[in-house]
C-alpha cells in the first residue's frame, strides 16, 4: 500500500507539472490541485518536489561524463565519444540547438510549482505557523531557480505570481538584468523575515534565513562583477539592459559587501568555518564535507546516506564504472605550498622532482595523484593509486587500469568531498554527506572580494576574511604579506576561491563574471605523466586539450526550441 500511495502521488505530481509549451508551461487541472492541496501530506510532498532539484546545476554528472567542472578549466570530461554540453564548451561549439535545456526547463518547472503552491497555500490545512514557514520556503525556492536562470542566461521573463495554463498568452519578453536582480533580492529578503537562522531537529536542511541571505550575497557579488557592468561587447541594443547593467557603477560592490556582512554579522555566530586541526593541520576542510550537519552549510542538497561521489570521482579499480571529469594540471598548480606561497615563488620550496611534497593541505583533500592513498574495496584499507606508467624495462612499458592514458587523460582524479573510509562499491559503508550549495567559506570570500574592489587598497577586514580561510586550510604561516595592492589582493582572492571552492560549481561562473574566460579557457591545458624508471619517478607535462572560448559563451544560449515559440524572446548575442 505504501508503494501504491507513492505511485499515486508521483502520478499526481507529473500530471500537475507536465511540460509543454513556452517556458515549459504545465497543465494543472482544478481537480489535481484540489486533490494535492486538500491533503497536508500531499502538500508537503509537493513542496519537497521543489527541494528535490536543488543542486542540479552543480552536480558533477550533470552532463554525463562531467558537470560544470568539465565546462571550464578545472577538469577534462570523460565519455568523449558523444557530443554533449561539456564537449561544446571545451571546443567552443556551443549552440542553441544542441545545448542542454536543463537549466531552462528545471528552473521554470519549479517556478511554476512555487506559484501553484502560493496560490493554494491559504486553503491548505496547515496551522498558521506552518503556513508562514512554507510560504517563506517557497518564495526562496522560486528566487533560487530565478537565480539559476539569471546566471546562465542573463535577464529572463519573470512570471511573478502568475500560474499560466496552456491556453493562456504567456509573456515572453525578457526582463532587464536589473529587474531580475531586484526581484530576487526582494524575494530573499521577504522569505528571510519569516525563517530562523538555522533549523534544528527534523527541519534541519530546510531553507533558513542564512540560505536567503547567502543567495542574496552571491547574487549581488555577481551583479557587481565586470561581466554584468557596462559590457561593451554587447552590441545588440535590445540586449544591453538584458545581458547586464548598461552602465558601470562601482557602488554595486558596496551592496555586495553589505549582503555578505549580513550573513557574517547577523547569525550571532551560528555560522562559521568548521575548524579542526586534529589529527593534521587543515583537517577541518576535509571533515566539513563529511558531516551532515555542520556550522558552514547555509544551503545543501540533502540526501540519504550515500557513496555517490566516490562512484564518480575515484579511479576505475576503486569501483567506478561511470566516471566524472578528471582535473587538469592547471587546477593542480593552483594549490601552492603549505607555507602559503605559490609554487612559482622562488621562496616556496617547491621541488619539481617531488611535486607533491609540502603542498597546501587542501591539495590532498581535493586531488588524487599518483600514490595517493584511497580506500579500496578488497583490502578494507587505503592503498596507493598507481597512476604511473612503468618504464623500468626499456622493451616493455606497462600501464595499469588507473594509470594516465588509461583511467585518466590528465594523470589526476578528483578527491574533493570523498570520504577516506568509503569505497565506491563497498555497499555496506556510506557517508552521511550532503552536497553543499552555499557555504560560509564562500560568504567570507564574497565579502573579501567585494570590499577589496570597493576600496582603493585592502584594509584589515579584507585580510581577516582571506586569512581565516587560509588558517582553516592549515597553511603555516597563513598570514598574507602586508601592504598588498588592490590588484595583488584580487589575484589572491581569486586563487583562494579556485582552491577552496573547487568542484563545487563556482569556477565556471567565476571566470565569466571576472571576464577572464577568454584567457583561461582559450588555451592549451595540460596533465602529468608520472613514469616509473630505474632512477625513480619522472614527472612530465603532457598536452590534454586545446580549449576554445568564443566571447558569446559568457552567457548560455536560450534553447532554440524555446526561442522558436515566441518572437518576443530575444536570443543572447552570438547565437
User: How much is the pLDDT for 379?
Assistant: 61
Mean pLDDT along residues 509-513: 98
All domains of the chain, ordered by start, with CATH? 1-55+77-176+556-575 (1.25.40.390)
Instruction: Report the run of H or E that residue 102 belongs to, with start and end.
Output: helix 102-120
pLDDT of residue 133: 96
Give the Cα separation of 127 and 119 in Å (integer). Answer: 17
Of the pLDDT bands very low, low, confident and very high (cuts 50, 70, 90), residue 271 is very high
The 10s digit of each residue's pLDDT in 128-149 is 999 999 999 999 999 999 999 9
Which residue did the predictor score with more confidence, 32 or 424?
32
- Give the pLDDT confidence of 68-99 residue by residue, as tens digits: 999 999 999 998 766 789 999 999 999 999 99
Say what percent of the chain tops pLDDT 90.
84
Side-chain-side CA neighbours of 369 within 13 Å: the count stands at 22
- Four-residue CA torsion sign, 286, 371, 374, 412: positive
The answer on pLDDT for 152 being more than 90 is: yes
- Predicted confidence (pLDDT) per residue in 220-231, tens digit: 999 999 999 998
Question: Of the candidates 418, 281, 421, which has an alpha carbon nearest to the alpha carbon of residue 359?
Answer: 281
Instruction: For 310-369, write each residue's pLDDT tens digit.
Output: 999 999 998 888 899 999 999 999 999 999 999 999 999 999 999 999 999 999 999 999
Quote the pLDDT of residue 484: 98
pLDDT, tens only, 464-500? 999 999 999 999 999 999 999 999 999 999 999 999 9
Average pLDDT over residues 151-177: 93
**297 three-state secondary structure:** strand
Half-sphere exposure of 422 (CA within 13 A, CB side): 22
Q: Which pLDDT score is estimated for 80?
A: 72
Please tell me what DSSP assigns to residue 173.
P
More confident residue, 224 or 430: 224
Split at pLDDT 50, 70, 90, the class of 509 is very high
Label the pairing between strands 373-376 and 396-399: unpaired
Amino acid at each position: 500500500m505504501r508503494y501504491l500511495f507513492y505511485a499515486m502521488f508521483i502520478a499526481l505530481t507529473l500530471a500537475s507539472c507536465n511540460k509543454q509549451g513556452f517556458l515549459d508551461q504545465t497543465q494543472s487541472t482544478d481537480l489535481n490541485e484540489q486533490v494535492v492541496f486538500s491533503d497536508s501530506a500531499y502538500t508537503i510532498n509537493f513542496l519537497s518536489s521543489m527541494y528535490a532539484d536543488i543542486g542540479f546545476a552543480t552536480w558533477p554528472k550533470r552532463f554525463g561524463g562531467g558537470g560544470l567542472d568539465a565546462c571550464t578549466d578545472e577538469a577534462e570530461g570523460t565519455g568523449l565519444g558523444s557530443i554533449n554540453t561539456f564537449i561544446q564548451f571545451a571546443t567552443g561549439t556551443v549552440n542553441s540547438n544542441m545545448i542542454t535545456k536543463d537549466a531552462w526547463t528545471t528552473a521554470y518547472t519549479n517556478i511554476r510549482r512555487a506559484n501553484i503552491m502560493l496560490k493554494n497555500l491559504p486553503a491548505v490545512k496547515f496551522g498558521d505557523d506552518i503556513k508562514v514557514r512554507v510560504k517563506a520556503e517557497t518564495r526562496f525556492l522560486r528566487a533560487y531557480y530565478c537565480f539559476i536562470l539569471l546566471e546562465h542566461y542573463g535577464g529572463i521573463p519573470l512570471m511573478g505570481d502568475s500560474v499560466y495554463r496552456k491556453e493562456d498568452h504567456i509573456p515572453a519578453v525578457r526582463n532587464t538584468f536589473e529587474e531580475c536582480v531586484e526581484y530576487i533580492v526582494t524575494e530573499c529578503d521577504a522569505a528571510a523575515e519569516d525563517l530562523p537562522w538555522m533549523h534544528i531537529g527534523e527541519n534541519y536542511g530546510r531553507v533558513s534565513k542564512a540560505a536567503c541571505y547567502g543567495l542574496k550575497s552571491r547574487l549581488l557579488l555577481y551583479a557587481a562583477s565586470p561581466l554584468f557592468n557596462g559590457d561593451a561587447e554587447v552590441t545588440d541594443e535590445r540586449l544591453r539592459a538584458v545581458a547586464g547593467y548598461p552602465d558601470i557603477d562601482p557602488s554595486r560592490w558596496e551592496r555586495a559587501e553589505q549582503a555578505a556582512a549580513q550573513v557574517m554579522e547577523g547569525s550571532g555566530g551560528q555560522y562559521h568555518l568548521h575548524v579542526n586541526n586534529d589529527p593534521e593541520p587543515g583537517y577541518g576542510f576535509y571533515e566539513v564535507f563529511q558531516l551532515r550537519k555542520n556550522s558552514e552549510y547555509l544551503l545543501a542538497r540533502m540526501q540519504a546516506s550515500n557513496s555517490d561521489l566516490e562512484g564518480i570521482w575515484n579511479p576505475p579499480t576503486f569501483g567506478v564504472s561511470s566516471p566524472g571529469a578528471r582535473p587538469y594540471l592547471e587546477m593542480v598548480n593552483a594549490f601552492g605550498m603549505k607555507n602559503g606561497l605559490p609554487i612559482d615563488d622562488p621562496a616556496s620550496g617547491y621541488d619539481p622532482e617531488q611535486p607533491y611534497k609540502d603542498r597546501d593541505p587542501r591539495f590532498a583533500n581535493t586531488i588524487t595523484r599518483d600514490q595517493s592513498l584511497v580506500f579500496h574495496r578488497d583490502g578494507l584499507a587505503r592503498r596507493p593509486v598507481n597512476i604511473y606508467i612503468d618504464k623500468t624495462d626499456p622493451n616493455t612499458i606497462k600501464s595499469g587500469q588507473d594509470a594516465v592514458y588509461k583511467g585518466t587523460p590528465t594523470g589526476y582524479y578528483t578527491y574533493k568531498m570523498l570520504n577516506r573510509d568509503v569505497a565506491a562499491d563497498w555497499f555496506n559503508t556510506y557517508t552521511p554527506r550532503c552536497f553543499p550549495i552555499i557555504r560560509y567559506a564562500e560568504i567570507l570570500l564574497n565579502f573579501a572580494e567585494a570590499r577589496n574592489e570597493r576600496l582603493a587598497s585592502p584594509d584589515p577586514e579584507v585580510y581577516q576574511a582571506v586569512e581565516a580561510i587560509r588558517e582553516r586550510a592549515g597553511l603555516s604561516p597563513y598570514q598574507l604579506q602586508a601592504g598588498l595592492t588592490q590588484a595583488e589582493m584580487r589575484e589572491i582572492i581569486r586563487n583562494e576561491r579556485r582552491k577552496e571552492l573547487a568542484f563545487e560549481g563556482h569556477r565556471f561562473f567565476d571566470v565569466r563574471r571576472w571576464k577572464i574566460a577568454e584567457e583561461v579557457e582559450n588555451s592549451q591545458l595540460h596533465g602529468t605523466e608520472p613514469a616509473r624508471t630505474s632512477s625513480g619517478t619522472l614527472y612530465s607535462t603532457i598536452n590534454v586539450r586545446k580549449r576554445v572560448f568564443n566571447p558569446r559563451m559568457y552567457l548560455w544560449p536560450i534553447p532554440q526550441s524555446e526561442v522558436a515559440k515566441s518572437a518576443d524572446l530575444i536570443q543572447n548575442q552570438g547565437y
